[in-house]
């Protein structure tokens, strides 16, 4: 892990908490702020400050939430596993890592106490949960990995979302948060399998705020063998979510846990 962190320029820095960062000096020059965080929390060389983020995971009791939580904990993050039931969150947290680095809490407390929050709930419960948490999520980056996918006798298919995508739906109910789409194609099976030491794929990161997408790319980079790649504005997230249905088909045909690689971007 040390080699990976050093490669990412993260190994030897002392990072202040995002809330305590000085006013933006560099940054993208587009938004100036990432929610409550100064823009330079996301940009190189201060991308290293990503390492200090406390990450909350809504629906963190599920496979995807536990998988992302586990890998980010292994990368050094403080993780708060969220659930509709605090007891269930605590039990799941114990399988992800050890306190005080990894703890469990009700979703609302995870949202309140984290710097950045990943929404890892099924599409069916996504809109209502986020709308109910708009207050504690205000001023924060919310990373949406939700794939609106259905299954029938012919396999997986994309479910139409009125707002265009689950991520846009999140943005609609969270007007005071900065929503970024990411981690749609990373298999929970692989995230949870400690024998997988190199996930070997790109994470497509979408959003309308350059500083926020830069930060989430840096967060993705912290997973072993993963590169965060900017892939467009939030309005383009629908096809990214829908593509998961194609990956499910790939997985079924080839008995795999397929991920994506983008070519020719260095």
> Residue 54 CA to chain centroid, in angstroms?
12
Q: Quick check: 52 and 39 in contact, CB under 8 A?
A: no
Stretch that binds ligand NAP, among 81-89, 134-142, 193-201, 224-232 (CB under 6 A): 81-89
41 to each of 36, 131, 179, 204, how far by Cα in Å? 10, 27, 16, 20
Q: Quick check: 43 and 50 in contact, CB under 8 A?
A: no
Shortest spacing between CB 84 and ligand NAP, in angstroms: 3
Chosen residue from 29, 85, 160, 261 binding ligand NAP by CB under 6 A: 85
Q: Does 147 bind ligand NAP (CB under 6 A)?
A: yes
Q: Quick check: 34 and 41 in contact, CB under 8 A?
A: yes
Write the binding mask 107 to 126 for ligand NAP: x where contact by CB under 6 A, - elsewhere: -------------xxxxxx-
Terminal Cα distance for the chain, rounded: 22
**Which parts of 38-77 interact with ligand NAP (CB under 6 A)?**
59, 61-65
Q: DSSP readout, 57-96?
A: EETTTSHHHHHHHHHHHHTT-EEEEEESSHHHHHHHHHHH
> Of the two residues 63 and 193, which places its CB atom closer to ligand NAP in the complex?
63
Chosen residue from 188, 206, 215, 247 binding ligand NAP by CB under 6 A: 188
> Residue 171 CA to chain centroid, in angstroms?
15
**Which parts of 199-228 interact with ligand NAP (CB under 6 A)?**
none
The DSSP H or E segment spanning 181 is strand 178-181
> Of the two residues 37 and 188, which places its CB atom closer to ligand NAP in the complex?
188
Shortest spacing between CB 24 and ligand NAP, in angstroms: 32
* β-sheet bridge partners, residue 38: 33
Q: Does 103 bind ligand NAP (CB under 6 A)?
A: no
Stretch that binds ligand NAP, among 82-90, 169-177, 220-228, 229-237 (CB under 6 A): 82-90
Chosen residue from 43, 52, 177, 187 binding ligand NAP by CB under 6 A: 187
Stretch that binds ligand NAP, among 10-18, 22-30, 78-86, 221-229 (CB under 6 A): 78-86
Shortest spacing between CB 27 and ligand NAP, in angstroms: 29
Structure-block tokens of residue 152: 């029938």
Measure the CA–CA gap between 20 and 246, rounded to whole angstroms: 43
> Of the two residues 194 and 264, which places its CB atom closer to ligand NAP in the complex?
194
Measure the CA–CA gap between 120 and 6, rounded to whole angstroms: 29
Q: Which of 160, 174, 162, 84 is nearest to 130 (CA)?
A: 174
Site residues (CB under 6 A) for ligand NAP? 59, 61-65, 83-85, 88, 120-125, 129, 145-147, 184, 186-188
């Amino acid at each position: 892990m040390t080699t990976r962190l050093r490669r990412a320029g993260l190994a030897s820095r002392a990072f202040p908490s995002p809330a305590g960062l000085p006013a933006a000096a560099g940054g993208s020059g587009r938004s100036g702020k990432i929610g409550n965080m100064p823009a330079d929390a996301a940009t190189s060389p201060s991308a290293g400050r990503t390492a200090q983020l406390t990450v909350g995971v809504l629906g963190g009791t599920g496979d995807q939430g536990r998988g992302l939580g586990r890998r980010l904990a292994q990368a050094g993050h403080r993780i708060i596993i969220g659930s509709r039931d605090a007891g269930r969150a605590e039990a799941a947290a114990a399988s992800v890592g050890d306190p005080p680095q990894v703890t469990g809490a009700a979703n609302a407390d995870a949202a309140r106490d984290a710097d950045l929050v990943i929404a890892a709930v099924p599409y069916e419960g996504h809109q209502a949960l986020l709308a109910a948490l708009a207050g504690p999520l205000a001023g924060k980056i919310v990373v949406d990995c939700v794939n609106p996918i259905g299954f029938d006798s012919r396999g997986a298919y994309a479910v139409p979302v009125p707002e265009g995508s689950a991520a846009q739906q999140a943005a609609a109910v969270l007007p005071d948060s900065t929503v970024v789409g990411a981690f749609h194609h990373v298999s929970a099976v692989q995230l949870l399998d400690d024998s997988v030491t190199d996930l070997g794929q790109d994470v497509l990161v979408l959003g309308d705020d350059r500083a926020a997408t830069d930060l989430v790319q840096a967060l993705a980079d912290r997973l072993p063998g993963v590169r965060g790649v900017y892939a467009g504005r939030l309005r383009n997230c629908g096809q990214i979510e829908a593509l998961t249905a194609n990956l499910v088909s790939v997985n079924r045909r080839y008995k795999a846990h397929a991920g994506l690689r983008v070519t020719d971007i260095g």
